[in-house]
Amino acid sequence: MHLHTEKLIGELQDAARQIRLDTLDMVYRRQAGHPGGSFSAADILAALYFHHLKIDPDNPGWAERDRFILSKGHAAAALYAALARRGYFPVADLEKWGHLDGHLQGHPDRIKTPGVEMSSGFLGHGLSIAVGMALAQRLGGPRYHVYALMSDGCMQSGVAWEGALTAAKYKTTELTVIMDYNDVQLDGAAHEIMPLEPIVDKWKAFGFAVLEINGHNMRQILDALDMALEIHSKPTVILAHTTKGKGVSFMENTAAWHGAVPNPEQYAKARAELLGGA
């Protein structure tokens, strides 16, 4: 496992803050989007795109690249922000999110957007597709690692657990699942709508190694990503406990901000809070 310096931790925290700021601007500008779940995933996306993933923004189709699957496709704004800031396309393109003549759709589109590996939005499907990608390299060709970011809403879907069963059967150690466990979804608390607990026991029963972390602690995120690569007997899930709407006080842990748009006063307050964390 690598030793991660304070300088690196600080740089990645800055990248996560920028992803949140870009997301806020995009949602406000478009008057549509999903800030809550985008903010909860920002630290994970920053760790992956600005440090951990083996990728080349100048060559998005590089055969040996790591694959990242955003199963929770409604968090597209955060993914687009990460891709733009990482150099896959100009940051100015974020201003055309959702435009008919733009390449950034409301949900990720692998045909239109450089760096997007899966057209997602149907919750739960990302894990099964990631398993397929992990297995594909066993047929020959370049080696790579696959990462699937799932929401708790994703894990309420049967297809997600079918993917987990398949991953365990074939011992897809080429796959790391990351669960953005913020416990809030569109209509309220996930544990009230469709409880997942005991989630650690479930993942273990399905044949996964489980690493449980604070999904906003950058050092824990990096350590878990490194550790997952050292587990060679079974697939790994990183259970990341996160906060819906992280970074904006009035959005945190509030279902109303799953897919809401701030008014001018709320936008100004949210931006000030995010900048205040610098």
Domain boundaries, the chain: 6-276
Report whether 39 contacts 118 (CB < 8 A).
no
Backbone dihedral angles phi then psi of residue 120, each to the nearest 5 degrees: -125, 170
Q: How does pLDDT run across 11-27, given as a tens digit for each residue?
A: 999 999 999 999 999 99
Q: Which of 108, 237, 240 is nearest to 175 (CA)?
A: 237
At 119, list the tokens.
């057209």
Q: Which fold has domain 6-276?
A: Rossmann fold (3.40.50)
Q: How does pLDDT run across 103-129, given as a tens digit for each residue?
A: 999 999 999 999 999 999 888 899 999
Provide the H-helix boundaries in the chain: 6-30, 35-47, 76-86, 125-136, 158-169, 190-193, 199-205, 218-228, 264-276
Q: How does pLDDT run across 52-90, given as a tens digit for each residue?
A: 999 999 999 999 999 999 999 999 999 999 999 999 999
Backbone dihedral angles phi then psi of residue 237, each to the nearest 5 degrees: -120, 135
Report whether 80 contacts 60 (CB < 8 A).
no
Count each helix (H run) and each strand (E run) in the chain, helices first.
9, 7
